Amino acid sequence: MVTEQSNILVVMVDQLAAPFLSAYGGPAITPAIDWLAREGVVFSSAYSNSPLCAPARFSMMTGQLAHKIGAYDNASELASSVPTFAHHLRRAGYQTSLVGKMHFVGPDQLHGFEERLTTDIYPADFGWTPSWDDPDHRFDWWFHNLDSVVQAGVADATNQLDYDDDVGAHGVRKIRDLARSNDDRPWMVCVSFTHPHDPYVARQRFWDLYDHDAVPMPKVGPLAPADLDPHSIRLRHVIGADETEPTDEQVRNARHAYLANCSYVDEWIGRLLETLDHHGMADDTTIIFTSDHGDMLGERGLWYKMCFFEHACRVPLIIHQPSRYEARRVDTQTSLLDIAPTLLDLAGLEPPDTMDGASVLPFAAGHDDPDRTVPGEFLGEGAIAPIFMLRRGDLKFVWSEPDGPQLFNLADDPDELVDRARDPTHASVVAALTAEVGERWDPAAIRADVIASQNDRRLIDGALRLGRHQSWDHQPVVDASERYMRNHLDLNDVEAMRRSG
């Protein structure tokens, strides 16, 4: 356990698949992330435990599997009674700030953070609740479709760019404020961007970083219907891929824009790092960089996330604190469940028994655990029953009661093209892993809980849309009477306190 408390900067991005980053062998031009990777600890096999925005983030913040905290989908509420890493760090004496997206649903929009400097980009109500009772129904007003792919290209401003410009500016400003603050508490700031999440639209100068014709196309193109697993068939319906087949040029445009947006968000990360360094805080700050999930980006004819193929669930994880940890790559399996206990470890705290993850700092220090298992579960739209994943060694096992098992050996089949689940030579492995799923989870009980929650939330959402509307969306509070120069403040004090090098 770390005994000396470190300042902590958590930098999150959204929908960034590790295989696209140059630090993981991918084509994205990301000098700031590359710098973190060169000097930091790169976890080469890190996973999202639930590849959908809100469940992934709630598991990350609590260190608990999604089903245990009711984090089923993007309209699931994170209960105020569930402790997060922000609560734990705050009790340990940290000042805690959130800048950007965390996809909190419900009236509690802080969950332990002392302050939240921006609103969220997605709604805080129950409107995005799916229905497993009616799996063929498309909620067209919020379900993904392939417009993001068909309309991919260049624009100077989008909803997403407006948001991340705001997040980046507030993040830089917060670090400057910390540098000139009289508050001597250690701090934890989480700066969370929404890029490179779709829509696949990028600014011209980031688009121009890439040779369009050299943008790599999917390694595995659309598969024949007979070669698709049941969940992939459902996902194609959920995202509208069974109605729209993008052209090769549209696919390349989308991938080009995605890479360009990786470079866009990397520039903001670079500004955060420069600000830390300029104000002399870099040596005292541990930086954790990660994403909530990945993006299939056309692999296998699939887009976005919501499955356990590598591009959807494998995420970057980098810890940068050269004064404590030498630069290295860690192959031990890790996941977002490990973030909360790691942050507690950095603060000198023991994680509670309720957490399903563990601190990765021993791995950062050089230890290894080749048999470590990462669990995953997907309970959102596209599923009709819980989908479970176990990642251990070279193997990835995926199981759902209506779909049956899938087994991939990623060492010799990194593109997950050979499902060994029905290979007689792997029957004993499949049987053992199936039994392990039954020991770790109660699939029937979880399915019943999900459907009951979906029904309750749709009822509540329908009721709250009638009559007077009371928004749960976070409203950042800025007291203008205490900013800049006011007549109840001494000008000399204001100028002295707000000045930094």
DSSP 120-149: -SS--SSTT---TTSTT---TTTS--THHH
Query: What DSSP character marks residue 350?
Result: P
Q: Find out whether 233 and 225 touch, Cβ atoms under 8 Å.
A: yes
Tell me the CA distances in angstroms from 316 to 38, 413, 460, one per residue in order: 14, 20, 37
- Reference 164, options 210, 208, 107, 202; nearest CA is 202
Q: Which residue do the tokens 């089949």 mark?
A: 413
Using CA atoms, how far apart are residues 232 and 12, in angstroms rounded to an integer? Answer: 27
Tell me the CA distances in angstroms from 305 to 56, 98, 149, 405, one per residue in order: 11, 25, 14, 19
Residue 288, beta-bridge partner list: 10, 319
Q: What pLDDT is recorded for position 482? A: 78
Instruction: Identify whether 293 is a catalytic site residue.
Output: no
Fold of 7-378+458-497: Alkaline Phosphatase, subunit A (3.40.720)
Catalytic member of 67, 87, 88, 103: 103
Q: Where are the beta strands (DSSP E) in 359-477?
A: 373-378, 387-392, 395-400, 404-409
Q: Find out whether 320 and 286 touch, Cβ atoms under 8 Å.
A: yes
Q: Which helix (H) or strand (E) holds 11?
A: strand 7-14
Using CA atoms, how far apart are residues 160 and 362, in angstroms rounded to an integer? Answer: 37
Helical residues (DSSP H) of 283-338, grouped into ranges? 310-313
Total residues belonging to the chain: 501
Q: What pLDDT is recorded for position 24? A: 97
* Token code pair at residue 451: 């459907």
How far does CA 397 lie from the centroid of its chain? Answer: 22
Query: What DSSP character marks residue 181?
Result: -
- Reference 485, options 472, 495, 497; nearest CA is 495
Using CA atoms, how far apart are residues 84 and 107, in angstroms rounded to an integer? Answer: 16
Q: What pLDDT is recorded for position 500? A: 64
Catalytic member of 53, 190, 307, 313: 53
Using CA atoms, how far apart are residues 20 and 300, in angstroms rounded to an integer? Answer: 16
Per-residue pLDDT of the chain (501 residues; tens, 9 = 90+): 455 788 999 999 999 999 999 999 999 999 999 999 999 999 999 999 999 999 999 999 999 999 999 999 999 999 999 999 999 999 999 999 999 999 999 999 999 999 999 999 999 999 999 999 998 888 888 888 999 999 999 999 999 999 999 999 999 999 999 999 989 999 999 999 999 999 999 999 999 999 999 999 999 999 998 999 999 999 999 999 988 899 999 999 999 999 999 999 999 999 999 999 999 999 999 999 999 999 999 999 999 999 999 999 999 999 999 999 999 999 999 999 999 999 999 999 999 999 999 999 999 999 999 999 999 999 999 999 999 999 999 999 999 999 999 999 999 999 999 999 999 999 999 999 999 999 999 999 999 999 999 999 999 999 999 999 999 999 998 888 877 777 787 666 666 666 666
- Reference 161, options 123, 206, 109; nearest CA is 206
Using CA atoms, how far apart are residues 365 and 41, in angstroms rounded to an integer? Answer: 9
Tell me the CA distances in angstroms from 498 to 176, 178, 273, 492, 493, one per residue in order: 9, 11, 21, 10, 8
Q: Find out whether 209 and 191 touch, Cβ atoms under 8 Å.
A: no
Instruction: Identify whether 103 is a catalytic site residue.
Output: yes
Q: What pLDDT is recorded for position 423? A: 93
